[in-house]
Amino acid sequence: MTRILILGANGQLARNTTPMLLKQSDVELTLYLRRAHRIVNPDLNRVSVIEGDVLDREKLIRAMQGQDVVYANLAGEMAQQASAIIQAMHTNNLKRLIFISSMGIYNEVPGEQYRSVLDPYRDSAALIEASDLDFTILRPGWFTHDQGVNYQLTQKGEPFLGHDVSLNSLSTLIVKLALNSTLEVRRSLGVSRA
**Phi, psi (degrees; rounded to nearest 5) at 43:** -160, 100
How far apart are alpha carbons 34 and 58 in whole angstroms?
A: 15
- Residues paired with 99 in a beta bridge: 72, 137
> Across residues 1-6, what is the average pLDDT?
98
pLDDT tens, position by position, 4-15: 999 999 999 999
Neighbours of 140 (CB within 10 A): 23
Q: Is 2-193 CATH 3.30.420.40?
A: no
Higher pLDDT, 115 or 153: 153
Each residue of 143-186: pLDDT tens digit? 999 999 999 999 999 999 988 999 999 999 999 999 999 999 99
Closest Cα to residue 27, out of 35, 36, 37, 17?
A: 17
Q: Give percent of the chain above pLDDT 90.
A: 96
The residue extents of the domains of the chain are 2-193
What does the pLDDT read at residue 114? 86
